Every structure is written in structure tokens, then in C-alpha cells.
Amino acid sequence: MHLPLKDANEKTWHTIEMSEELPRQNPFLALKFYEFAAVSMLVLAFFPVSLLVCWLAFGVQTTRDLIEAMIKDWVQTMLILAGLVMLLFGGLIWGVIEWLA
């Protein structure tokens, strides 16, 4: 049985806030590969000091964006390396089995 809605608020009660704005994008995820590699290398080279300087100079949100982008990059790199290792070991096992057969 379908009950008719009395007003639009009843239909959208579960939404937190309707907004026409797009969600905030992380500017570090929009960088090209070599640009982000340079930023990442500088942050890692001067690790504790670089995050403190970023926090003081650019604020909490930019520092959070930088850390988030670096973590996503690290996870992506680890997944790619794990896939390559699995491919290498699979090929090695296949080669040994073919060689023995």
C-alpha cells in the first residue's frame, strides 16, 4: 500500500542537506604525476618539519589534503607492486612447471 506524501519535506527527511555545490576536491589529487612526485619527495625528505611548515603556512585543510593524497598514493603503489609480484611469481611457477614437464 502506497501512501501519498503530504509535502516535500517528508520525501527528503533522510537527507542531511541538499546543496547545488559540488563537494570539495583535493587539489593534490589533481596534480600531474611528476608534480605530485616532487611534492611527495620534498615532504618525505624533510618529514616532520615539512608537515609542520605546511600546517603553519597553509592551514589544517591543506595539510590534511596532502596527507590524504600521500596515503592514497602509497596504497595505490602497494597494490600495483603486489600485483606485479603475483604476476612475476605466477610466471615463475608456470615456467618451472613447464620446464619440469
Stretch 5-28: mean pLDDT: 64
Q: Is the pLDDT of residue 7 over 80?
A: no
Residue type for position 69: A
Return the pLDDT at 31.
82
**pTM for the full predicted model:** 0.64
Return the pLDDT at 14.
55
Please state, in angstroms and rounded to a whole number, the distance separating the CA atoms of residues 95 and 89.
Answer: 10
Return the pLDDT at 28.
81
What nine digits make up the cell of 97?
612447471
Please state, in angstroms and rounded to a whole number, the distance separating the CA atoms of residues 92 and 82.
Answer: 15
Residue 63 CB partners (closer than 8 Å, separation 6+): 51, 54, 55
What nine digits make up the cell of 38?
616532487
Please state, in angstroms and rounded to a whole number, the distance separating the CA atoms of residues 81 and 84.
Answer: 5
Return the pLDDT at 94.
94
What nine digits make up the cell of 47?
618529514
What nine digits make up the cell of 14?
533522510
